[in-house]
Structure 1
């Protein structure tokens, strides 16, 4: 029996960095949301774990057994192996939680086939700060390093979203290291749309310094009929939210024409 799961692209509707911690991590407040598109994982029961990576960005994962999917398989007890084919549609090191989303999809596959151990959240957090949120892939507020989660009802579910990346990989560590350390205040309260529109991404400025094309992406998205455009996570992917699908499609077509070298993906917020 084959089980297929989408590794839903993660975006940060807001990301407030509050302080550097002594353990090297950062204390933050973020509003996670998920797009109904992403990588696709298909798993079949097997004698031992196997992983095949295909898709546009599959070639960027040069060590498939050293990646987070293999690590996720390694932390989940099961009676048998899984043969997984992963269609890598999301760019790597892009601020979309691609690897974390892939790991989250593995957790859901194992849950469907065998169930998860009671301490699955702890196991997920050891793989990466975004992984616990990506297991359920629902709108939630993350605190601490992003692993203290509070699911929230979203008034933006179904909102058309356009993702754009300049095809420049940007590692998370250097962006956090380039943050100036200034606490600009907590994430606002209110509905999901209130938090998104009144919030900010504190990593945007350091990311633009490290990867100037992000500024051009943001300017281009701001020139469309979006009611919100922002960088996601540590970049370099940016997103734009629209009131209507027609406006999103028009924006996608214009950007594809003006910047054919950019990667883009469209969908709806879950």
Structure 2
């Protein structure tokens, strides 16, 4: 058996923080979307589970006890072991749900090979708030901590997207800790595009306070007149959506010439 899956990069087209919860988490309303590019996982049959990590950012995942791919394998019953090679193309601690996307890809691999248990959603949520959304990797609304999912028809599929990260990792917890406490209000109503255009990211100010290059990334993206440029999740990755592949690629080239040290990924919304 040999199965391959892409761990699609997650972006938050809008992210409204509503309140702090007593358990330390935050109540959110977010519009998840996914890019048709990301990490790559290849799985083959094995006597026991084993995870091998390669790729540009593979060296960051050097703790086998904190590897979410291994945790995802342990979370799902099956008769055989799997050897998984993870090509880590997405930066870590970047607001792209990279680890959650990897876990979601593991769930899809196991679903294809063996099927998933009925309570797979609960098992996914225990691995991380973004993991349930990443299993299906389709545009949807997330509430609660992000695990309460509501499907939405998307009118954004195929939209060209550019991801840019200043290569500065940004942990989620400090960004949420710096949230000013103001309720961002509910997500706007309407289509996915309406929600995106009239929504916001309530963590942007806190993230910029911790990682000032985010402001520079946003300024450069917005200067190219995209449909929208916004920070994803808790940062530091920002995204821009464009009307054409030419506009996207022109922006990518321009940023690459002036800031070759920044990480970029091009794709389209799924």
Query: Offset at 1:137?
Result: 0.1
Gaps of 5+ in 1: none
Equivalent residue number for residue 155 of structure 1: 155
- What corresponds to 2:248 in structure 1? 248
Q: Which residue is 2:263 aligned to?
A: 263
User: Does 1:180 find its partner at 2:187?
Assistant: no
Residue of structure 1 equivalent to 2:40: 40
Partner of 1:30: 30
Which residue matches 2:211?
Answer: 211
Alpha-carbon deviations, 1:116-146, whole Å to 9, x = none?
0000000000000000000000000000000
Between 229-238 and 219-228, the greater mean CA deviation after superposition: 219-228
Residue aligning to 1:57: 57
| Conserved 8 A contact 1:51-1:65 | no
Partners in 2 of 1:215 and 1:186 — Cα distance? Answer: 25
Secondary structure, aligned partner of 1:84: strand
Contact 1:53–1:64, Cα closer than 8 Å, also in 2:
no
Indicate if the aligned counterparts of 1:31 and 1:140 stay in contact, CA closer than 8 A: yes
How many Å separate the matches in 2 of 1:49 and 1:20? 38
Name the SS for the 1:34 alignment partner. Answer: strand
* Count of matched residue positions in the alignment of Structure 1 and Structure 2: 270
TM-score by length of 1: 0.99
For residues 111-150 of structure 1, the aligned pairs below 5 Å read 111-150=111-150
Report the alpha carbon displacement of residue 62 of structure 1 after superposing the two structures with TM.
1.2
**Distance in 2, Cα, partners of 1:153 & 1:242:** 20
1:153 is paired with a residue of what secondary structure?
A: coil
Match of 1:237 in 2: 237
Specify the SS of the correspondent of 2:224.
Answer: coil
Matched, 1:90 2:90: yes
Show the counterpart of 2:79. Answer: 79
Q: Deviations over 1:102-127 (max 9, x none)?
A: 00000000000000000000000000
Cα distance per residue 1:212-250 (max 9 Å; x no partner) = 000000000001131100000000000000000000000
Cα distance in structure 2, aligned partners of 1:258 and 1:98:
26
The Cα of 1:184 is off from its aligned counterpart by 2.6
Taking the aligned partners of 2:64 and 2:237, their CA distance within structure 1 comes to 23
1:180-202 alpha-carbon deviations (Å, 9 max, x no partner): 11113111000101100100000
Equivalent residue number for residue 12 of structure 2: 12
How far apart are 1:64 and its partner, in Å?
A: 3.4
For the residues of structure 1 that align with 2:45 and 2:58, how far apart are their CA atoms? 22
Aligned to 2:236, the other structure's residue is in SS state: coil
Q: Please report the RMSD computed on the Cα atoms of aligned residues, expressed in angstroms.
A: 0.6
- Please report the TM-score for the alignment, with normalisation by the length of structure 2: 0.99
Deviation at residue 65 of structure 1 after TM alignment:
4.3
